[in-house]
Structure 1
Amino acid sequence: MLQIESWKRVLIWATVALGLLLAMPNAFYSRVETHNDAVKAIDLGADTTENRDAASTWPGFLPSGLVNLGLDLRGGAHLLAEVQVQDVYAARIDALWPDVRDVLRDARAEVGTIRLQPSAPGELRVRISEPEGMDRALELVRGLARPVVSLTGAGATDLAVSGEEDEVVVTLSEAEKTATDERTIQQSLEIIRRRIDEVGTREPTIQRQGFDRILIQVPGIGSAQELKDIIGTTAQLTFQPVVGRSTDPGTSPGVGNELLPSLDEEGVFYTLEQAPVVTGEELVDAQPAFDQNGQPAVNFRFNPAGARKFGDYTAENIGSPFAIVLDDEVISAPVIQSHIPGGSGIITGNFTIEESTNLAILLRAGALPAELEFLEERTIGPELGQDSIDAGKIATIVAFVAVLVFMGLSYGLFGLFANIALILNIALIFGLLSLIGATLTLPGIAGIVLTVGMAVDANVLVFERIREELRTARGPARAIELGYEKALSAIVDANITTFITAVILYLMGSGPVRGFAVTLGFGILTSVFTAIFVTRLLIVMWFERRRPKTLEV
């Protein structure tokens, strides 16, 4: 008997109503996409993809999620950056000098006096005055080596230590360089993502390309320069001992030291020990604040390891200046007045409120482990994106109308039911996209257009089976029932194979390919639902009301 239980009918219509409710905000809101708004959103930390004006009285208590527009539809910035992984080698080796100095100093009776020598980047050279103690020196320095943290470097150590006459030479081992390269790229990816997220930009594309390159695409950014301003600042924060202070930029800092300019005091240069006591990598929090004079500043807090080192140094060096260095500039060099336990402090300087806020954001997001060299930068204007949207709309409308006309001419009243289901199908797709906050790209629009063409396949299979059953002199009710029963397996098999393809595209692909896979996958789910349940319910409701003696499909 051709019938559908009441609870199933309620569930079907409830699902359709929920999908329409989720999709409707896309028609009731308009996006503000001007250059100035994008700048304002970046400055204030607002969500650029949520930068909307209510275009109508859409109730606030109802779902208001929108489908985000991708870079090719909305405009934005595109960057291709190369990570300078070699920078990390030099930083690692420079930071090793205090440990080497301390371990050799304890064996001074055997190795004699020790002195740091001028070294190439990524290399540490230490001269000992007693060459006959070289074996002992090498043994002690090799004791500083640690196992390489890498699957491919199992059993290897991170340092390569050798002796040349009266000099101990320390470099990173090849296994450690390989592991460091991988960690540097992954850390750069994560920090770039966190920096972009900190300023409220949603749905960016941030992915690795090749060995040492990173692709960054952010919709809604006014220009590539704005994006570079967000991620290009390294925000390398260090706390370094002060050796001296001068006004001569030509002052020789000496081996193991460096000469850096003061940010606040024009013409003043500080000679600092090159090896920092604590680095920004050990920060766990940074927040904009005000100092005791009411001037903008930044509060910071270290992790336990950083807090211990910071506390120990301040306890042992009361009365000595201590430089706070940001990106090779001395922000301030206060004198340590007392022991500072707990690992908390404040960074003061001639900051504006905006500068202190941005500095806190950069410090919270973490320091880039290496410099980025931008190989390619491109700004996609919103006008080009609007042209893509208009072209996509035309393609969708043409496909939609062509399918509606074909179904109406081919199957009459049943074709009309299929057309109603097709309209609901498109709405359900947008409802699902809005629910997960998906990003719609031009390939995504192609997936929707393809869905429009594929959506009626299931209905065509059903209707053709109904025609075959009518030719065997079945009654209308029995023909409809058997048509759905016998077509069900073919519908499921055909759509499962296509859905598997969409899943593989999503898992293996990236960027535009994923956008196409998402809309295609959702389209398959909604097409099967509307064909098997919605169209059938419409036919059953019509049949119950009319009770036709004959049936034309």
Structure 2
Amino acid sequence: MHYPAWKYILIVVALVISGIYALPNLYPDEPAIQITSTSAGTSLDQNVLTQSQRLLDDAGLSHHGGNLENNSVLIRLNTAEDQLKAQDTLRKNLGENYVVALNLAQTTPTWLRDIGAKPMKLGLDLRGGVRFVLEVDMNKALERRLETASQDVRRHLRNEKVAIKSLRTTTDGMVLTFDSNDERDKAQRTLAGTMADFALRPVMSQDGATLEMSYTESSLNQINEYAVGQNLTTLRNRINELGVAEALVQSQGTNRIVVELPGVQDTAEAKRVLGRTANLEFRLVADGADSFTGGVPPAGTEAFPFGTLDGMPLLLNRQAIITGDRVQNAQVGVDETGRPQVSITLDNAGGKLMQSATAPNQGKQMAVLFIENKQRVKFETDPTTGETTEVRTPYAETRVINRATIQAVLGTSFVITGLDSHAEASELALLLRSGALAAPMYFVEERTIGPSLGQENIDKGLFASQIGYLLVFLWMIVFYRACGVIANIALAFNIIMLGAVMSILGSSLTLPGIAGIVLTMGMAVDANVLIFERIREEIAGGSNIKTAIMAGFDRAFSSIFDANLTTLLVAFILFAIGTGPIKGFAITLAIGILTSLFTAIIITRALMQIWYGYRKNLTKISIG
């Protein structure tokens, strides 16, 4: 028997690294409250930390370890119950300029964190987490669709040389008036073939010949489904950009979306980014903008603050050139002066619209309008019952973030400058890159998944794992004696390596993931069973002990490899088509298969070599 020295070195290196990176799992995280500003790039100072600690003291909530980190305030609490009470207290007293979110603070020693070692993340079913319910504003979705449709109507009628006296939008359609019935009938014939989403109805009114256009029932359902579907896709993209692991995003009912964020996550950042419904509009600066100082804007124009919300008003054309939904990609960079900028890439349709708008307007100015839909949250107490309820009022913040002269015809690529900070530029790029929202969304519910249930699941999962390991341990010893002990040692190394790999990859451990670990233990010793049975057959066939050991490993390899390969393919399929906990099970199973192959073939073979390979005159083996 001979075993190469490099394999011993490989085993030692793998076990040392696994031991170090599995070590943080012995240091559990503790509950904490994270406070950030609603505006990206705004750093909180010591005054916010001191004010927050004083509010918690006044509420009788014990806390420790408050500090400033990553533009936010982090305050550690003693219990999960105190964490929930602290969130309510701070949300009610700090105001709407701050995001107060639940989080977990690491207790891992600094030297481990310095080398990137961190504990395994726990899923929503184990650690608990945050559950958001967002409601899609369907009225806004319909309003946006009508704006686009009204432009199409004007274009179609202009091409057919049909003059419109007036056009106004209603809650579910448009009303067009004409100078004569002939003009109205001609418009109806034109629009019947081009605007199939609308039901057309000619009527007579005080304004004259009128054509009423209203969305059909099927069209309204289609708009509703599109708005929810587009917002679902955008939210998933934003969560992926944030690096939130094992998140669940799904629709609920006709106009709501549920987002569940498990484990150690920057929930304050996630909540701010998920809740932002920012969009961009590119508009031409109106003629006479430099002389406009306030008041009622001229017809066809609108005034918006420039730079900040209290900046001087800038007059823009009412008609937008393009909006943010035409953006295909957005990347952060810096200009020649070191100021942040965002490089924009439009789709083909957006590039053509931009080209058509800038070609005849070279020398004029174009502005970038930043629009963000928000909610004001107030807490009102019922004088009779004493219950406190949240009252949410939606509103929109609009400001011009950039104004520049059109030097040449623009196409699909250009840059946006004039941003205040790199953090603001990064967040704007993220929002644009992840896709535009079809309609604004508002938080209607934020709920915490209770940690008591999670702890019960953890305890039961650990108990099941311990029972499983104990049964496997006893079974291997009873049937394979000393060789069974070797297999059990390799199995222990397998569990350590599995935990280390999951910690390094940042995978979340869920309850199905624990089932995957238990399954891995059975599969790991299954490989050893094949090897030991093959050794028994070789000995029964007359081979000497050392030859039988070598033949057992060599000839069982193909069976072990084929069996694990098919299971690995199943794990990949589960990961590809599954969501949430199913992905957690697939990840644990896949990692467990790979570590099992290493421990069952490499480590078990090395231990057999150490125990039997260096003995002279070996006449028997303890294999049952």
The alignment's TM-score, normalised by the length of structure 2, stands at 0.64
- 1:164 match: 202
- Rounded Cα–Cα distance in structure 1 between residues aligned with 2:401 and 2:474: 79
CA-CA distance at 1:477 after TM superposition: 3.0
Change (3 A) 1:535 1:105: closer
- 2:79 match: none
Say whether 1:542 aligns with 2:611. Answer: yes
Equivalent pair of 2:35/2:72 in contact (CA under 8 Å): no
- Rounded Cα–Cα distance in structure 1 between residues aligned with 2:439 and 2:201: 29
- 1:101 match: 154
Equivalent pair of 1:71/1:441 in contact (CA under 8 Å): yes
- 1:205 match: 247
Change (3 A) 1:128 1:240: farther
User: Out of 120, 139, 144, which is 1:91 matched to?
Assistant: 144
CA-CA distance at 1:24 after TM superposition: 2.5
CA-CA distance at 1:55 after TM superposition: 1.4
User: Out of 277, 280, 305, which is 2:324 matched to?
Assistant: 280
Say whether 1:480 aligns with 2:480. Answer: no
- 1:114 match: 165
- Rounded Cα–Cα distance in structure 1 between residues aligned with 2:475 and 2:367: 83
Say whether 1:78 aligns with 2:131. Answer: yes
CA-CA distance at 1:444 after TM superposition: 1.0
- 1:127 match: 177
Equivalent pair of 2:202/2:210 in contact (CA under 8 Å): yes
After TM superposition, list the pairs within 5 Å mapping 1:47-58 onto structure 2.
55=109, 57-58=111-112
- Rounded Cα–Cα distance in structure 1 between residues aligned with 2:151 and 2:601: 73
Change (3 A) 1:35 1:275: farther
The C-alpha deviation readout for 1:488-531, integer Å capped at 9, x for no partner, is 56645654554454344334432112211221233233324432
- 2:622 match: 552
Say whether 1:451 aligns with 2:520. Answer: yes
Change (3 A) 1:480 1:118: closer
Amino acid at match of 1:451: T
The C-alpha deviation readout for 1:180-207, integer Å capped at 9, x for no partner, is 6665445323432344456x45314144
Equivalent pair of 1:407/1:416 in contact (CA under 8 Å): yes
User: Out of 243, 260, 264, which is 1:217 matched to?
Assistant: 260
Percent identical: 29
Equivalent pair of 1:79/1:224 in contact (CA under 8 Å): no
- Rounded Cα–Cα distance in structure 2 between residues aligned with 1:465 and 1:552: 14
Stretch moving more, 68-77 or 256-265: 256-265
Say whether 1:513 aligns with 2:569. Answer: no
CA-CA distance at 1:455 after TM superposition: 2.2
Amino acid at match of 1:124: M
Stretch moving more, 321-330 or 467-476: 321-330
Amino acid at match of 1:455: A
Amino acid at match of 1:36: I
Stretch moving more, 436-445 or 365-374: 365-374
- 1:379 match: 448
Equivalent pair of 1:239/1:325 in contact (CA under 8 Å): no
Amino acid at match of 1:55: P
- Rounded Cα–Cα distance in structure 1 between residues aligned with 2:20 and 2:423: 38
Amino acid at match of 1:97: S
- Report SS of the residue matched to 1:548: coil
Say whether 1:400 aligns with 2:466. Answer: no
CA-CA distance at 1:418 after TM superposition: 0.8
> Structure 1: any 5+ residue segments left out of the alignment?
146-157
After TM superposition, list the pairs within 5 Å mapping 1:325-474 onto structure 2.
325-327=371-373, 329=396, 331-332=398-399, 362=431, 365-372=434-441, 377-380=446-449, 385=454, 388-434=457-503, 436-467=505-536, 469-471=538-540, 474=543
- Report SS of the residue matched to 1:370: coil
Equivalent pair of 2:32/2:103 in contact (CA under 8 Å): no
- Rounded Cα–Cα distance in structure 2 between residues aligned with 1:92 and 1:389: 49
Amino acid at match of 2:596: S
Equivalent pair of 2:132/2:447 in contact (CA under 8 Å): yes
- Rounded Cα–Cα distance in structure 2 between residues aligned with 1:300 and 1:502: 39
- Rounded Cα–Cα distance in structure 2 between residues aligned with 1:202 and 1:45: 20
> Structure 2: any 5+ residue segments left out of the alignment?
37-67, 75-101, 204-208, 374-394
CA-CA distance at 1:456 after TM superposition: 1.6
Stretch moving more, 237-246 or 200-209: 237-246
- 2:22 match: 26
Amino acid at match of 2:323: T
CA-CA distance at 1:368 after TM superposition: 1.9
- Rounded Cα–Cα distance in structure 2 between residues aligned with 1:159 and 1:544: 81
- Rounded Cα–Cα distance in structure 2 between residues aligned with 1:197 and 1:488: 39
Equivalent pair of 2:33/2:103 in contact (CA under 8 Å): no
Equivalent pair of 2:31/2:103 in contact (CA under 8 Å): no
Stretch moving more, 352-361 or 475-484: 352-361
Change (3 A) 1:67 1:107: same
Equivalent pair of 1:286/1:360 in contact (CA under 8 Å): yes
- 2:94 match: none
Change (3 A) 1:323 1:12: closer
- Report SS of the residue matched to 1:25: helix
- Report SS of the residue matched to 1:125: strand
CA-CA distance at 1:400 after TM superposition: 2.9
The C-alpha deviation readout for 1:30-49, integer Å capped at 9, x for no partner, is 57554235757785699x99
Stretch moving more, 417-426 or 134-143: 134-143
Equivalent pair of 1:49/1:202 in contact (CA under 8 Å): no
The C-alpha deviation readout for 1:16-67, integer Å capped at 9, x for no partner, is 7336525632315857554235757785699x9997566164596x674764
- Report SS of the residue matched to 2:447: strand
- 1:148 match: none
Change (3 A) 1:336 1:136: farther
Equivalent pair of 2:512/2:582 in contact (CA under 8 Å): yes
Amino acid at match of 1:234: T
- Rounded Cα–Cα distance in structure 2 between residues aligned with 1:544 and 1:302: 65
After TM superposition, list the pairs within 5 Å mapping 1:252-267 onto structure 2.
264=309
- Rounded Cα–Cα distance in structure 2 between residues aligned with 1:68 and 1:31: 10
CA-CA distance at 1:448 after TM superposition: 1.0
Higher strand share: 2
- Rounded Cα–Cα distance in structure 2 between residues aligned with 1:425 and 1:390: 21
Equivalent pair of 1:301/1:345 in contact (CA under 8 Å): yes
- Rounded Cα–Cα distance in structure 1 between residues aligned with 2:570 and 2:404: 67
